Amino acid sequence: MSDNKTTHFGYKTVNNEEKAGLVAGVFHSVAAKYDLMNDLMSGGVHRIWKRFTIEVSGVRRGHRVLDIAGGTGDLAAKFSRLVGPTGEVVLADINDSMLKVGRDKLIDRGVCSNINYVQADAQYLPFPDNHFDCITIAFGLRNVTDKDKALRSMLRVLKPGGRLLVLEFSKPENELLSKAYDNYSFKLLPKMGKLITDDADSYQYLAESIRMHPDQQTLKEMMDDAGFAMTEFYNMTGGIVALHKGVKP
What's the DSSP call for residue 63? Answer: -
List phi, psi (to 5°) of 199.
-150, 90
Burial label, 160 (beta-carbon count in 10 A; 0-12, 13-18, 19+):
exposed
| Neighbouring-strand partners of residue 202 | none
The response to whether 122 counts as a known ligand-binding position is yes
The response to whether 121 counts as a known ligand-binding position is yes
What is the C-alpha separation between 165 and 21, in angstroms, rounded?
25
Longest dimension (CA), the chain: 48
Q: For the residues of 45-58, what is the DSSP string, one character each?
A: THHHHHHHHHHHH-
Burial label, 77 (beta-carbon count in 10 A; 0-12, 13-18, 19+):
buried
What is the C-alpha separation between 113 and 208, in angstroms, rounded?
38
What is the C-alpha separation between 166 and 29, in angstroms, rounded?
24
The response to whether 72 counts as a known ligand-binding position is yes
Give Cβ neighbours of residue 195 (< 8 Å, ≥ 6 apart). Answer: none
Q: Which amino acid is at 222?
A: M
Known binding-site residues equal: 72, 93, 121-122
Known binding-site residues for S-adenosyl-L-methionine equal: 72, 93, 121-122
